[in-house]
Chains A and B, each alone.
Chain A
Amino acid sequence: MGTLRYILRRLFFCACLVVGVSLILFALINAIGNPIEILLAERPGMTDEIVAEISRYYGLDGSVTDRYLTWAGAMLQGDFGTSIIYNQPVGGMLVTFGLETLKIQVPGILIALLASVGASVLAATRQYSRVDFGVISAAMLGHSLPGFFVGILLILVFAYWLGILPSYGAYSTRSMLMDSEIIDGLWHMVLPVSMLAFFNTATLTLLLRASLVDTLRQDYITAARAAGLPERRVVLGHALRNAFIPVLTYLGILFGLMLGTAPVTETVFTWPGLGALYIMAIQQLDYPLIMGTTMVITVMLVAATLLTDIAYVLIDPRIRLG
Chain B
Amino acid sequence: MPSIPVSASSPPLLRAEGLVVHFHTRDGVVRAVDGVDFEVGRGETLGIVGESGSGKTISSLALLRLVPPPARIEAGRVLFEGEDLLALPETAMTRVRGRRISMIFQNPATSLNPILSVGAQLSEILVWHGMATKREAPERIAELLRLVGLTDPAARLRQYPHELSGGMRQRVGIARALLCDPSLVLADEPTTALDVTIQAQILDLLAELRARLGMSMVLVTHDMGVVARMADRITVMYAGRVCESGSARTIFHSPQHPYTRALLDSMPRLDRSYRSGGRQLLPAIAGRPPGLLNPPAGCRFAARCPEATAECRRVLPVQVAVGPDHMVACLRRGSQGMAA
CB distance from A236 to the nearest CB of B (A): 13
Q: Within 8 Å CB of B90, what residues of A?
A: 231
Closest to B100 in A: A228
A315 close to B98 (CB less than 8 A): no
Q: Which residues of A contact B124 (CB under 8 A)?
A: 229, 237
Q: Are A229 and B110 in contact (CB under 8 A)?
A: no
Judge whether A218 is part of the interface by a CB distance below 8 angstroms: yes
**B128 in the interface (beta carbon within 8 A):** yes
CB distance from A162 to the nearest CB of B (A): 43
Q: Does B15 touch A at the CB level, under 8 Å?
A: no
Q: State the Cβ distance, A321 to closest chain B Cβ, in Å.
A: 16
Q: Known: A218-B110, A315-B115, A317-B117. Is A226-B162 also a contact (CB below 8 A)?
A: no
Q: Residue of A at shortest CB range from B96?
A: A228
Q: Is the CB of B113 within 8 A of A226?
A: no
Closest B residue to A222 using CB positions: B66
Task: Decide yes or no: A228 and B125 within 8 Å by CB, A220-B114, A317-B162 being known contacts.
Answer: yes
Contact string, A183-194, partner B, CB cutoff 8 A, digits 1/0? 000000000000
**Contact yes or no, B107 A228, CB < 8 A:** no
Are the C-beta atoms of B160 and A220 separated by less than 8 Å? Answer: no
Cβ A242 vs Cβ B113 within 8 A: yes
CA distance A255 to B176 in the complex (A): 40
| Nearest opposing residue in chain B for A242, CB measure | B115
Question: When chains A and B are docked, how far (Å) is the Cα of A219 from the Cα of B121?
Answer: 14
Please encode chain B, from 93 to 110, with 1 for each CB lying within 8 Å of some chain A CB and 0 for all others.
Answer: 011111100110111001
CB distance from B92 to the nearest CB of A (A): 11
Shortest A105–chain B CB gap in Å is 29
Q: Which of B98, B110, B115 contacts A226 (CB 8 A)?
A: B98
> Is B174 in the interface zone, CB < 8 Å from A?
no
Q: Given the complex, which residues of A lie within 8 Å of B106, measured CB to CB?
A: 219
B interface footprint on A223-252 (CB within 8 Å = 1, 0 otherwise) = 111111111010001100110010000000
A residues in contact with B98, CB < 8 Å: 226-229
- B112 CB-CB contact with A under 8 Å: yes
- Interface members, chain A 180-232 (any B CB < 8 Å): 217-220, 222-231
- CB-defined contacts of B68 to chain A, threshold 8 Å: 217, 222
Q: Which of B107, B115, B129 meets A316, CB within 8 Å?
A: B115
Selected from A127, A225, A231, A242, the residue in CB contact (under 8 A) with B114 is A242
Tell me the complex Cα distance, A245–B113, Å: 13
Set A127, A217, A237, A318: member contacting B160, Cβ < 8 A: A318
Quick one: which of A217, A229, A315 contacts B125, CB cutoff 8 A? A229
**Min CB–CB distance A319 → chain B (angstroms):** 10
In the complex, chain B residues whose CB is within 8 Å of the CB of A219:
105-107, 110-111
Distance (whole angstroms) from the CB of B91 to the closest CB of chain A: 8
On chain B, the residues within 8 Å of A233 by CB distance are: 128
Q: Which residues on the B side are within 8 Å of A230 (C-beta)? A: 91, 94, 128
Query: Beta-carbon contacts of B25-39 to A below 8 Å, as 1s and 0s?
Result: 000000000000000
- Chain B proximity of A130: nearest CB distance (Å): 15
Interface string of B169-196 (1 = CB under 8 A from A): 0000100100110000000000000000
Asked if B113 and A224 sit within 8 Å, CB to CB, the answer is yes
Known contacts A225-B66, A228-B96, A228-B99; is A220 also within 8 Å of B128 by CB? no
A-facing residues in B121-135 (Cβ within 8 Å) = 121, 124-125, 128-129
Known: A317-B117, A317-B160, A317-B162. A226 touches B69 (CB 8 A): no
